[in-house]
Amino acid sequence: MKLLITGGAGFIGSAVIRHIIANTRDEVVNLDKLTYAGNLESLAEVSGSERYSFEHVDICNRAELDRVLTQHQPDAIMHLAAESHVDRSIDGPADFIETNIVGTYTLLEAVRQYWQALEAQRRQNFCFHHISTDEVYGDLDGPENLFTEQTPYAPSSPYSASKASSDHLVRAWHRTYGLPVLVTNCSNNYGPYHFPEKLIPLVILNALEGKPLPVYGKGEQIRDWLYVEDHAVALYTVVTDGKIGETYNIGGHSEKRNIDVVQAICSLLEELVPEKVAGLANYRDLITFVTDRPGHDLRYAIDAGKIQKELGWAPAETFESGLRKTVQWYLDNLEWCKRVQDGSYQRERLGAGPAGVR
């Protein structure tokens, strides 16, 4: 089939595209606005494929969405395009409202018109897969509680509130217009090609340079960590085998306190890069506790039993195996990191983009 993936140059989107091109016979159209978090270099290994094409389009641009849908005639949509950094949403929520809410609405309307015009068999087989986050649920009270697909929404940040809104829009378009939708809510992703402002790559790169490793509060916040390539497999499983109208929670079965994640990275770096910058005895000495984020949720944890029971998916990586792969990837790809950090990936990306760039 042909899949249209919004936000395909982002961290999770690029992992999904790499998985599909490498492991299936499907075609992929990558639609991305290329904000700061969109990096076509993350798709270098698949950019030469005849089954891959790229459209430089904002999901808020209805005319361009109509053109792309008419031109490419996708069989399914995987909607990953979103502003996703909590700290940025606190500093400037407007972009999150525009992309995550207005953009999702605009995309839904374009897709609804496209879907209604399909011939009967294609219309019956079509689906719109909306990819969301566990942050829409807020945080958990007790140490044993888990987010399920029935957990009430209680978002805490402008980011999670905007994603909660987009989830509601998708379900409303299913209920009101009959648009065939699937929704997934995932836990914290990590792995190769993660933008360096996120916790795990930030800690790795700061440690190598002897810079402070910032930890909010006392680092007691608990997150369930999901290796991004496991997530990519789960998302493809849902879009191909999921039941229309259903929601699937996707988690890594790897709950860790933030401080434990940072210390685990330090331990791996002690093993893999024992020679440090001058004057540094131990990577853990760089850990620096900073003022906590406003409204910071304490604990997230996913019950991924439904997707395992109904669709047969379970994560292949433990946190320990996934983290080792992640740290090693960053050590092997410091040039990619440098180009993200100095902004050169943005200045040159369109001139050196993959085949099919408009």
Q: What CATH number has the domain bearing residue 17?
A: 3.40.50.720
Residue 336 lies in a domain: yes
Confidence of residue 347 (pLDDT cuts 50, 70, 90): confident
CA 18 – CA 165 distance, rounded (Å): 29
| Least confident range of 43-47, 150-154, 165-169, 343-347 | 343-347
DSSP per-residue letters across 40-52:
GGGGTTTTT-TTE
Residue 356 lies in a domain: no
Residue 328 lies in a domain: yes
344 or 224, greater pLDDT: 224
Residue 258 lies in a domain: yes
**Residue 130 identity:** H
Q: Is residue 299 left, alpha or beta, with left meaning phi > 0 and alpha meaning psi from -120 to 50?
A: beta
pLDDT tens sequence across 230-281: 999 999 999 999 999 999 999 999 999 999 999 999 999 999 999 999 999 9
Query: Which single residue is written with the structure tokens 């690029």?
Result: 14
Please count the other Cβ atoms lying within 10 Å of the Cβ belonging to residue 351. Answer: 7
Can you give the pLDDT at residue 349?
57
Active site residues: 134-135, 159
Tokens at 252, concatenated: 């890594």
Can you give the pLDDT at residue 356?
40
Residue 357 lies in a domain: no
Rounded to whole angstroms, what are the CA distances from 303 to 25, 139, 150?
31, 14, 11
Residue 358 lies in a domain: no
CA 214 – CA 204 distance, rounded (Å): 12
What is the average per-residue pLDDT within 177-181?
Answer: 98
CA 196 – CA 176 distance, rounded (Å): 40
Number of domains in the chain: 1
Range of the domain at 70: 2-348
Residue 11 lies in a domain: yes
Q: How many residues does the chain have?
A: 358
Confidence of residue 296 (pLDDT cuts 50, 70, 90): confident
Tokens at 104, concatenated: 């999702």
- Average pLDDT of the chain is 93
What is the average per-residue pLDDT within 63-91?
Answer: 93
